[in-house]
Amino acid sequence: MNAGWSRPAGAEGDDAADGAEAARGARLSEPARVEAFSDGVLAIVITLLVLDLRAGPFRPGDMSEHLLRQWPAYLAYFASFGYVGVIWVNHHQLFTRIAAVDLGLLWRNLALLLVTSVLPFPTAVVSSAFQGKNHHDEVTALVFYALLAAVMATTWLLLFHYLATHERLLARRTAPSFFAAERQRALLGILAYLLAALLALWLPLGSLLIIAMLPVFYGLTSEGWRWPWHRSRPAL
């Protein structure tokens, strides 16, 4: 255990269990280093998105047409910028409720960063497909993007489930039930992205609308997911 770090609330009285886990190498550490590393990765990802916006080549006198023709690239850029921004906000909110990290949480956080780091690629694919105005290419690009986003939602599900079942990692006054409820939000995202992938086969623009709206949903629920009939309960 790192020097200067105090055990999270609820850890007292569980020395036997902690001793057994420590014997198996399940050591706890402060979350600050993990959050700083994650912030760095997300900052790089959100910066790489702009590389798909190109100033040329174009024929002399055709600059305005060239810039207008790139509207799908602008749309894809702003959509993915918002998506990564929402991921960062949700990740920050997640770590405000974590007092310690262990090896299991580290691996799940890395899985989330892995999928997020790939996001600039399907963003560029969607941009190229819509600029080419080929229906088959548009369908392929949207299915690819939606499936990757569904995998990303799955990594959130793994994170939430792990925290819901490892109370000793949680910050003071954060109950495991909070993360149990967050699993519902992740499952909703998985289903919605799979629906977007299916819809893309018949209606690409409808699929694109779902993909564009889901980051808005995740942004509005960044402080936690509660069903409408539970909103009267105080948040933990």
Asked if residue 75 is part of any domain, the answer here is: yes
Please determine, for residue 5, whether its predicted confidence score (pLDDT) is greater than 70: no
For residue 2, tell me if it sits in a domain.
Answer: no
pLDDT of residue 109: 96
The phi and psi torsions of 109 (rounded to 5 degrees) equal -65, -40
Distance CA 181, CA 75 (A): 32
pLDDT band at residue 1 using 50, 70 and 90 as cut-offs: very low
Q: Is 12 domain-assigned?
A: no
The answer as to whether 9 is a domain residue is no
Q: Give the structural domain span for 47.
A: 28-226
pTM of the model: 0.78
Residue 233 within any structural domain of the chain: no
Residue 14 lies in a domain: no
Domain assignment present for residue 11? The answer is: no
Which residues on neighbouring strands pair with residue 170, listed in sequence order? 98
Q: Are 152 and 186 in contact (CB under 8 A)?
A: no
Q: How far is CA 216 from CA 51, 159, 212, in A?
A: 24, 21, 8
Give me the mean pLDDT over the 175-185 stretch: 90
Domain count within the chain:
1
Residue 85 lies in a domain: yes
Distance CA 115, CA 151 (A): 7
Specify the pLDDT at position 224.
66
